[in-house]
Structure 1
């Protein structure tokens, strides 16, 4: 499911053992992920091979929200040793002292963007992008190429949808209105919502889930929409007449933490180091088309050129996109104001 910044999944404390019954004395680590197809990919690509490599047992847990993690940490007994979170939750959790400091004498950060290497959290296992998806039958050889095109209903008539969430859509509106990537932040909310109000009458559906948006694209009901690159890739693989462009894509990271009070912190640091290493980073996109956060995963033919072309963090695609400023979104005052304005926009 994408974006992972809003993945709220049921079934907290759903466990799976990756190496069968633990042998006597064998170390055990609990990895908390988002569930669904993403966690299936992570399991096959890295967790199962890593358990064998290190001779440990890795159990999986499906998280539902930061609130659930907070309850466990404040009770002094978190069930997980490593957890993936969205960056906003990492920022909030850091402010609430929910995470352990990471041991960077163990965790190597070569190839990882310094902006997502913090004292108590680091980039998640992958990154993802909100891209423009379009119906190839509708637009043929002249597809929309920018967010300005998405907002141009005369030049590119067709059914449109947007995610019913301000995250990334504010950046999209400002880029469509001519704001350059280097001038996006702090976000000009008045300008963004004025632009969004112009487009609102042409939005057929405000989708609320990845599954709904996937069906809209697959069925051809929606011909143009911002959507998450992994989902769009899957629709294309399944044979739907859909294309996408990484131009002006909104690139986002998730993050990884070791909850304060974790039972196996030393093992967590060693496992996290391997999860972020180039070889394992290069393995994940073979199962799901999200990008490695370690740029060294693109070196030495670890990822084929054909696969790299489909990934948001490949060198060629990376330079086309805008990196979301999660520090802005993580500011509670900003988040509350933008959500209030968004609710008003959609409901009026």
Structure 2
């Protein structure tokens, strides 16, 4: 059974170039972004494979300019700051964050008729309920992931990671790590609540009480934590250096460590966790929409490209036929058991405004405690 599943390495040079463009005055930025034969992509490291990028540029003459992003909120703020004339043609949005970008008119509806290879996406992703909003598609699903419990297999036993309890076991004090905002959803689930907060959409007082309970729980167990980290590359390095033996993490970076032979594994504990899908999205009023569609269609053309994306990022490709291009180890590194998948649910966006209005201040309070 395929697992859902970042390392943030790579494209540093391209990312720096993108940053320079964004720092320029608007009229200069617009001129640079709208150069013919260019497509500007904001995405995570390793989501656009180097070999594919080079081949696409050679065959089409279109230069792919990649700016590295590592956070959905930061990407939203950058795009909103540039509206209504963004420098980006394509951005990378997680499906459960669609509404925030759509409601702010930052994305254009995706015209799937312009994508000859749309049918190469597994319909589990392309035709799922979260993928259609207001009657439109808003992105091409490319990679899927999950929030997992990762552990050093030489120190932590398989039995210990059957529950999120292990993250709060004094035995491992100072040897755990997580991204606080992500961990808040899992802790709410661990405490028996809806971490999506959809169940409390019409009861803000209940929602506030739940977030306060999760906040207080994490403050109480703050001594357990070696570090609140920010990126996939950071948690990978902490495992490699043996600074930590346990982490709440995105599955992609951990899957990549498994592929590289490190004594690390991951699981979805009995209390459950959350899955997500990354999509590539055409920006509203982007400078080079034709080039954006050309890049998307080329990316979807072959399962080999999806396999390259999985190998580089650790996340599972949404393309049909990818397994045929992965080794047994690569497939194993990106798969969960049926039992684990029973506890996996997708992030949902219906209550995001309420949720993050409560969670974001709670995160800062945890940091300050």
Q: TM-score, normalised by structure 2?
A: 0.71
Give the alignment's Cα RMSD to 1 decimal. 3.7
Supply the distance in 1 between the matched residues of 2:166 and 2:335 (Cα, whole angstroms).
Answer: 21
What residue in structure 2 maps to residue 59 of structure 1?
64
State which of 220, 229, 237 in structure 2 corresponds to 1:215. 237
Q: Aligned ranges for residues 8-157 of structure 1 at < 5 Å? A: 11-12=17-18, 28-34=37-43, 36=45, 38-39=46-47, 42-44=48-50, 46-51=52-57, 55-62=60-67, 65-74=75-84, 76=85, 78-87=86-95, 90-107=98-115, 108=118, 111-112=122-123, 113=125, 114=128, 115-118=130-133, 119=136, 121-140=138-157, 142-151=159-168, 153=169, 157=172
Change (3 A) 1:214 1:196: same
In the TM superposition, residue 205 of structure 1 has moved relative to its aligned partner by 2.4
User: Helix, strand or coil for the counterpart of 1:341?
Assistant: helix
In the TM superposition, residue 298 of structure 1 has moved relative to its aligned partner by 4.7
Deviations 1:250-293 (A, max 9, x none): 32223322122234424433432443456232332133311113
In the TM superposition, residue 246 of structure 1 has moved relative to its aligned partner by 4.2
8 A contact 2:259–2:333 mirrored in 1 = no
Supply the distance in 1 between the matched residues of 2:196 and 2:351 (Cα, whole angstroms).
Answer: 14
Give the gaps of 5 or more residues in structure 2.
Answer: 1-5, 10-14, 22-35, 70-74, 201-206
User: Helix, strand or coil for the counterpart of 1:344?
Assistant: helix
8 A contact 2:197–2:351 mirrored in 1 = no
What residue in structure 2 maps to residue 177 of structure 1?
191
In the TM superposition, residue 306 of structure 1 has moved relative to its aligned partner by 3.5
User: Helix, strand or coil for the counterpart of 1:138?
Assistant: coil
Deviations 1:288-334 (A, max 9, x none): 3111134x3456x34455422222689887555232224433x2x42
Q: TM-score, normalised by structure 1?
A: 0.74
What residue in structure 1 maps to residue 277 of structure 2?
253
User: Helix, strand or coil for the counterpart of 1:100?
Assistant: coil
User: Helix, strand or coil for the counterpart of 2:161?
Assistant: coil
Supply the distance in 2 between the matched residues of 1:68 and 1:180 (Cα, whole angstroms).
Answer: 30
Work out whether 1:290 is the aligned partner of 2:295. no
8 A contact 2:252–2:315 mirrored in 1 = yes
8 A contact 2:148–2:248 mirrored in 1 = yes
User: Helix, strand or coil for the counterpart of 2:154?
Assistant: helix
In the TM superposition, residue 162 of structure 1 has moved relative to its aligned partner by 3.1
8 A contact 1:161–1:222 mirrored in 2 = yes
What residue in structure 1 maps to residue 254 of structure 2?
232
Structure number with the higher helix fraction is 2
